[in-house]
Amino acid sequence: MSDVAQPATREAAIAAARSYVANGDFAAEMAPRIAIRSESPRADSRDDHLHYLNNEMRPLLERMGFSCQIIENPVERRLPVMYAERIEDPGRPTILIYGHGDVLWGMSGDWKDGRDPWILDEADGRIYGRGTADNKGQHSINLAALRVVLERRGHLGFNTKVLIEMGEETGSLGLAELARNHRDLLRSDCLIASDGPRLAAGAPTLFLGGRGSVGFRLTCEIREGAYHSGNWGGLLVNPGIRLAHAIATITDPTGRIAIPEWTPDRMPPEVRTALKKIALETGPNDPEIDHNWGEPGLAGAEQVYGWCNFEILAFICGRPDAPVNAVPGTANATCQLRYVVGVDPEKVLPALRAHLDVRGFSDVTIEEIKEDFYLATRTNLDNGWVQFALSSMETTLGREASLLPNFGGSLPNDVFAEIIGMPTLWIPHSYPSCSQHAPDEHMLVTVAEEGMQIMTGLFWDLGEAAIRDRQPVATA
């Protein structure tokens, strides 16, 4: 915290927040964080994870008056978690800030212009580096915004807890168990976190949860080995044909899901109303939207945020890289259902089993992919925390923010919404074309500037309301 007296006004704090990005301090603070190769799929990554938590997060938080501790992951030791707290007054509301410091593979050598994924590089309004958008840059903005408020006001006005995990990119292994073991420690009035993209680069967004995900493999194994198609073709069942026909029963030719248990009975009116206000924007490098695909009667945001979709992620039969004249013995497909609140995930695979059996495809086996399982969650749109945050965002930016009931991807939001039990607010500081998980991952400087202003304004407003009312600023 700075020793120099600073103007204690909202306007001064927001101006300082913008300057933090514009003058290069944000990039300078991010550079050593990006340099840490915290790839959570890597088996020997524990030391890198601890380095990120103890050498980057701990000093930052302790300088702001937080007490910090490492909590071991109860399921996977190489994926530790940092918990920190700053309790100013137990009678005031408490927010929980979440982020993840792990990343996927760096993909060195695949980045354009010779960039190194572990060396932060700012060029043409973009800040490049693995983790800039997902998620080091996003939670760093939120923590820096807390610091700005502390420097200007001397206190936050509310209590804050921080949870930084190191396993989100591998399915947040152990996070649910950790939350159950430490529910009282983590209990808060509201989660405020940042992950995923905005609707568009210029569209500040608040979303309240995520779609769920059920991943699974379908296999049709008829026999061992392959047999010459000239000698055996027409005499042997082709597993690729069998599996293709089995998969074709799951949707109609335009992608409409044919298994009733895989979709909700209806889309809640308030969700549909909110989604109708959202116009999807695509960039010059984005694919053209196929408007005749999916659930009939739904368009744009309704289709991707308000409904469910089934995807074939990979389909292998024989050797696509070196095909031969042979009838293969096995075919495999990796599949995924993205689903919304209103679908029971425990019924997804049993319903698929029954669906295939009744159509004569008992020779197709189903294997759940446990790493690709998330629950669908959504905070009520009329929750007081939601309205408070939306109002604060719009006051700061002077324009309307987009309210999403949930975003299209999946997050471990059920840990906070269901296990700990609190409203969940997600304010992303990235955009759809950020190349997360791919070469050339980056954060836009303009989005980082707005993110800093949004979060500083929100934390300022929360403190003022908490000091004034000495109670949660809003309730459901």
- Cite the DSSP H helix spans in 129-235: 136-153, 175-181, 183-186, 229-232
pLDDT in tens, 445-460: 999 999 999 999 999 9
Q: Answer yes or no: is pLDDT of 476 > 70.
A: no
Three-state secondary structure call for residue 298? coil
Phi, psi of 99 (to 5 degrees): -160, 170
What is the model's pLDDT at position 472?
55
Model pLDDT for residues 136-152, shown as the tens digit of each residue: 999 999 999 999 999 99
* Number of C-beta neighbours around residue 218 at 10 A: 22
pLDDT tens per residue, range 314-351: 999 999 999 999 999 999 999 999 999 999 999 999 99
Contact 206, 393 (CB under 8 A): yes
pTM, two decimals, is 0.91
Higher pLDDT, 476 or 296: 296
Question: Distance between CA 48 and CA 45 in Å, rounded?
Answer: 5
- For 31-73, how does the pLDDT look when each residue is reduced to its tens digit (9 = 90+)? 999 999 999 999 999 999 999 999 999 999 999 999 999 999 9
pLDDT of 388 higher than 50: yes
Residue whose token pair is 């950020």: 434
Q: Identify whether the C-beta of residue 214 lies closer than 8 Å to the C-beta of residue 348.
A: yes
Q: Are 473 and 382 in contact (CB under 8 A)?
A: no
pLDDT at residue number 41: 95
Which pLDDT does position 1 carry in this prediction? 43
pLDDT band, very low/low/confident/very high, at 467 (cuts 50, 70, 90): confident
Taking only the tens place, the pLDDT of each residue in 256-273 is 999 999 999 999 999 999
Provide the pLDDT for residue 45: 97
Average pLDDT, the chain: 95
